[in-house]
Each structure stands twice: as C-alpha cells, then as structure tokens.
Amino acid sequence: MRPRWLRNSIAPWQLVLLALLAGCATQPSTPKVVDVPVVVPCPKVTMPPKPVFPISSMSPTAPASSQVKALVESFAMSLSDDAQLRALLAPYTKAP
C-alpha cells in the first residue's frame, strides 16, 4: 500500500499528459511577412533601331532655314526616342 501523501500526488504520466495538452492550448502563430530578395530573370527586351536624324544628312552648305527645320525635326525625333528608351528601361528601375 502506498503512503497517503503519494496517493494524493500527481503521477509522472499525468505530468507528461499535462505538458502535451498545454502545448495544444497555446494560440496558433500568425504568418509573418519576411522581405527576402528573390532572383528573377530580366524581361526580354529588343532594342529599337538607331534613329536617323534629318540633321545628320544635311550638307554644311545647305540654307540656314532648311538646317533649322531639320534641327527641329531631329529634336522631336530625339524626344520620342527618349520616351521609347525610358519605356524599355522602366522594368529595370526600382519602384518608389
């Protein structure tokens, strides 16, 4: 026969069961967002052809009015070419 103080105490298997059940009583962990850089392939881009500016085909002896007209057209072409190249480079820049 076991002594009275031992009969009223908790058995070791009860302690193990209590520890296992205590793990089930905790709140489930919420998912956490972790920012990790991931390597992704670069987008495929084809380079546009190099524009031929009207001013480059002008003769140095051409009249000044036609040279200015060709210069204005060349400037307009360079602006559109700049916009096209910026659109091609946009996927490679970091978003703010």
The full set of domain ranges for the chain reads 44-91
- Cα separation, 73 vs 86, in Å, equals 20
pLDDT, tens only, 17-37: 777 777 666 677 788 888 888
Q: Determine the residue type at 65.
A: S
- Global model pTM greater than 0.85: no
Q: What is the pLDDT of residue 5?
A: 62
Report which DSSP code applies to 96: -
Q: What is the pLDDT of residue 3?
A: 66
Judge contact between 40 and 21, C-beta under 8 A. Answer: no
Q: What is the pLDDT of residue 66?
A: 92
Q: What is the pLDDT of residue 61?
A: 92
Q: For residue 64, is pLDDT > 70?
A: yes
